Structure 1
Amino acid sequence: MAIYVRSVRLMCEPGTRNARLIRNVLDSLMTTQTIRFLQHGVVREVGDAPVTRTVLQHLRETQQCTGTKEGCAEGDCGACTVVVGELDARGQVALKAVNACIQFLPTLDGRALFTVEDLRAADGGLHPVQQAMVDCHGSQCGFCTPGFVMSMWALYENQPADAGLPTRDEINTALSGNLCRCTGYRPIVDAAQKMFDYPRAAFDREALKASLQGIRRTEGFKYGALGATFHAPATLAEFARLRAAHPNARILAGSTDLGLWVTKQFRDLGDVLFIGNVDELKTIAHDAQSLTIGAAASLEDAYAALAADYPELAELWTRFASLPIRNAGTLGGNVANGSPIGDSMPALIALDAQVVLQHADKTRTLPLDAFYLGYQKTALAAGEFVAAIRVPRPSADLRFRTYKVSKRYDQDISAVCAAFAVRLSGSRVTGARIAFGGMAATPKRAPAAEAALIDREWGEASVREAMAALDADFQPLTDMRASSAYRSKVARNVLWRFYLETRGDAPLALFDVNAFAFEARENGSLTELP
């Protein structure tokens, strides 16, 4: 093979047509490793799949495992839900429901894949999750059922034996990424409660842990096919080196954005640099001044840490996409993406978060509101990457809220996402940071509205002036989600609501939108939220 490769290289002189593609293919042949993962209790190895082949495509088209369905191919419907098992930072098994339709096959290396076929008992009997779906009449056409079953199985296996049954809120969160058009959610929620009534199905976590340890790579993973290379370094130093050496490579985290570039836009990503194996970038730490969240920390873990400091973020946490998306996506990816409708950024900007950028072995820190330069344009230099997000710890003088307004309660893109942080000395405003998503080409502060509040009494007069000043801060566009006039009105109204909830005299009680939505779903009266 080496002699053949060298011979073909001689034909690939600079300027030769397709020389770059041929050279990349040859480099891949000489350096590639196989994708190695656990499935159905055995180690699978794949060496001929494109770098951007999805897990769903591999399951259905290569393995003929057609229990997992394809619906939207963008991570919205949940028909493709599978569970991925991996070793966490403590060396323990973590099971996470994810969307197979947007996960690239090389990301499975060193992990375990579970599909609906894995739930069948040795005697062919149904798993308690499946039996509960049958007994509660939770399946009609059946197309969405495998995805629901896998989301429920993840909940089933992740529920500690001594923790009791999951709450209704926890069940709704687990099912937030799955859509049903036949039976509706009531019988499926019933099944999620009833599945714990049957004799417990055996699942050997220790055996899985040992198997994962057996295929875990201590060094980086490199996979090449059809002229593209998938780099998966295991250390921060190696990731930084590769990023500096390959500034045009696409950084991949949870595939929740890049996955759609492939499945919807049919784009060629070229070389890919995967951040998901760098444990150093998954760390979440805090000191007296700040909470530091590594860029590769999942959205679910990041929001759990943020909500511990700022309970006001709890609703936004559960309404950010769905659990499978939050399991896969990262806060660093959401920030680096720079989408004007990314729900994380307004809250982080209002809290005066900083973004830590790294190039090779050098780092620099920017205020997050200075990171965005234009529509999907950031201050990242060539070869630089987001390493962490740093958020100040809460203080007693801070009043903070976030509000998300969208057409659908769960898993919907915001028409407007607002965040308000006001510092009070008595009843006087000493500082104000107001940020919006969906109102401009970037997540953006509202300087005129902030100026109308600072050094004023936190009262109706100053807030009314700030509401009017928002028209100077934003001229939102009209699109399928909302009109410009609607967005402007919503922006003013959520600022007023923030004042009503934080005023010193008879503050408005926090509206429990979660309780309202869950109750409305149960009795079938959910048409729109107030």
Structure 2
Amino acid sequence: MSERPITFFFRGSQQQVENVTPTMTVLQFLREYIQTGKTRQTGTKEGCAEGDCGACTVVIGELVNDNLQLRSVNACIQFLPTLDGKALFTVEDLCTLLPKKDGALHPVQQAMVDMHGSQCGFCTPGFIMSLWAMYENEQHCPSKDQVSNYLSGNLCRCTGYRPIFDAAQKAYDYPRILLKRQKVIEVLKEIKALPALHLNDHGQQFFAPKTLQDFAALRLQLPQARIVAGSTDVGLWVTKQGRNLGDMLYIGQVEELKKIVVTDHALTIGANVSLSDALIKISDVYPDFQELQRRFASMPIKNAGTLGGNIANGSPIGDSMPALITLGTRLILRAGEQTREIALEDFYIDYQKTALQLGEFVEAIVIPLREGQTSFKFASYKIAKRFEQDISAVCAAISCDLDNDDVAHNVRIAFGGMAAIPKRAKYAEAILEGQQLTAELIVLAQEALSKDYQPLDDGRASSAYRLHVAKNCLQRFYVEKILSQTITRVNDLIAMMEI
């Protein structure tokens, strides 16, 4: 590991950046960092500085099995050193992809013009980059649901979304113009051969080890250092609170922690696997997880954030934890060469306090698989003020094995937003365990939730509302999963009206 410049692909070639603080964001680099002979790149905008509005959206390219993976991220909270070994694309890059430099627009941009998808224009560069990521990744014209997913991290407050959705599909009507990826791949391979990155800015250090062994050793040496992955949480500590993060250990270069392994008995997800990849894989194994996958954060946040980070964060309102707890998930914790396993529900001790010991970190998440899942019932529900891009007021997950007589076994119920930690509802579970599930029994379990939880009042919801919603989640599980009745959502009605 050596002190060297941050090195990445930018503007068609290898870019090196020196003498910057480790917490400089990609947005600050683009808009404020000036090198001799180069101008600031101000097409990328700052709207919220917390990864919500999408005005700052850029696209990051990364080598995955020697192929170039392109994904949208929020430049306002992504730290510049995390770009080392990657490629950065902004709205200014799109004109360079055209065969003729005659002022013409990229198909994504032209479609936005033709469909009248921009008014004040402040949010437009972010929309363009999200659409460009979709354009590069989706070979055929996407459905409205796909467009909605790609644009889940972009907000517009004047145009309205219909013309933007129209532009997303209209872009496929023009002759295709795609990125020539081979040059980017060759440059990234050259950068990959460089030694691991180490920065030291006035005593604040940033380490980006490339192996699990090196990362574990550094963690023992610097147990107080902040572990950073996508910075979707700690990025706000800097941009909104002005906090000094101290020394940082970047986990993003550790290849061993990017693996997903499926066996007959378990799905093991490395701590550095992105939320996008992890949630899709879990949904493949447990299809009922798709409800949570769809509503869990925006695409740029899921592209940058990791499942390991979401778990280790210790937030009482992290959306993944209730579902993973009900699925019986265990964590592999590592300190140096030593590892141990712990049930996810035992990982949380108190508000933002976990069972991690000095020098330990989360290495992997192990989700057990079930044979013959026809009798296994599972559901996860996210309750928030908005359908997309919102923090949960309550997040619920319920599972059980159901025999032929509708008798429930291995009942597991967990909630987020109901206590200082993600927590199981042991009293409600006891009511249902070993019993034939009936409407009357569900009422008793609903009443037992008052013993399991005493939620707080806050800006998202009152205590009474949270408890009422939690009870309704039990009722919904019974209607949907036990009675097999279909529940129509407001969003479904809106979609039906648009047909």
- TM-score if structure 1 supplies the norm length? 0.90
**Cα drift, residue 507 of structure 1:** 2.1
Q: 2:386 maps to what in 1?
A: 408
Q: Distance in 2 between matches of 1:298 and 1:489?
A: 33
Report whether the alignment pairs 1:72 with 2:48: yes
The reply to whether residue 265 of structure 1 matches residue 236 of structure 2 is no
Aligned residue number for residue 154 of structure 1:
133
Question: What are the superposed Cα offsets for residues 94-146 of structure 1, whole Å, 9 maximum, x if unpaired?
Answer: 00100000000100111111000001142221110000000000000000000
The verdict on how the C-alpha distance between 1:312 and 1:415 changes in structure 2, with shifts beyond 3 A counting, is same
Deviation at 1:455, TM superposition (A): 1.3
Q: Which residue of 2 aligns with 1:343?
A: 319
Q: Deviations over 1:345-384 (max 9, x none)?
A: 0000011100110000111000000000000000000110
Aligned: 1:128 with 2:99: no
Where does 1:91-110 land on structure 2 (aligned, <5 Å)? 91-110=66-85
Q: Are 1:110 and 1:217, in contact at CA under 8 Å, matched by a contact in 2?
A: no
Identity %: 56
- C-alpha contact 1:223 1:229 (8 A) present in aligned 2: yes
- Structure 1 counterpart of 2:402, from 424, 447, 450: 424
Aligned to 2:37: none
> Which segments of 5 or more consecutive residues in structure 2 lack a partner in the other structure?
35-39
What is residue 271 of structure 2 aligned with on the other side? 295
Give the match for residue 461 of structure 1: 440
The equivalent of 2:10 in structure 1 is 39
Counterpart of 2:33 in structure 1 is: 62
Q: In the TM superposition, what whole-angstrom CA distance separates every residue of 1:235-293 from its partner, at most 9, and x where no partner exists?
A: 11111111111101100011100101100111101111001111110101111111000
- Could you tell me which residue of structure 2 aligns to residue 353 of structure 1? 329
Shift of 1:396: 3.0
1:94 counterpart letter in structure 2: Q
**One-letter code aligned to 2:173:** D
Q: Is structure 2 residue 177 aligned with structure 1 residue 201?
A: yes
Say which SS state the counterpart of residue 401 (structure 1) adopts. Answer: strand
List structure 1 runs of 4+ shifted beyond 3 angstroms: 510-520
Partners of 2:194 and 2:5 in 1: CA distance? 15
Question: What is the match of residue 292 of structure 2?
Answer: 316
Distance 1:176 1:517, change over 3 A: farther
Look up the SS of the partner of 2:374 in the other structure.
coil
Correspondence 1:207-246 to 2 at 5 A = 207-217=183-193, 219-246=195-222
Tell me how large the CA RMSD over aligned residues is. Answer: 1.5
Q: Which deviations, in whole Å up to 9, do the C-alpha atoms of 1:488-508 show, x marking residues without a partner?
A: 0000011001001122xx521
| Equivalent of 2:486 in 473, 488, 509 | 509
Q: Report the Cα offset of residue 517 of structure 1.
A: 5.5
The alignment partner of 2:113 has SS state of: helix
Match in the other structure for 1:449: 428
| Whole-Å separation in 1 of the counterparts to 2:16 and 2:200 | 14
Compared CA separation, residues 49 and 248, structure 1 to 2 (3 A): same
Letter aligned with residue 40 of structure 1: R
Matched, 1:50 2:25: no
- Count of matched residue pairs: 487
| 1:55-79 residue CA offsets vs partner (Å, 9 max, x unmatched) | 0011001141110000000000000
Amino acid at match of 2:27: L
Partner residue, 1:112:
87
SS at match of 2:290: helix
Q: What is the TM-score when the length of structure 2 is the normalising length?
A: 0.95
Counterpart for residue 6 of structure 1: none
Q: Partner of 1:192 in structure 2?
A: 168
Q: Is residue 333 of structure 1 aligned with residue 309 of structure 2?
A: yes
Aligned-partner SS, 2:342: strand
Residue identity opposite 1:142 in structure 2:
G
Residue of 462, 465, 471 corresponding to 1:483: 462
Instruction: Give the drift of 1:217.
Output: 3.4
Unpaired runs of 5+ in structure 1? 1-29, 524-530
2:2 and 2:197 in contact (8 A); partners too: no
Query: Which residue pairs with 1:378 in the alignment?
Result: 354
Please, which moves more after superposition, 207-216 or 277-286?
207-216
Letter of the 2:284 counterpart: A
Q: Is the 8 A contact 2:9 2:184 kept in 1?
A: no
Q: 3-state DSSP class of the match of 1:269?
A: coil
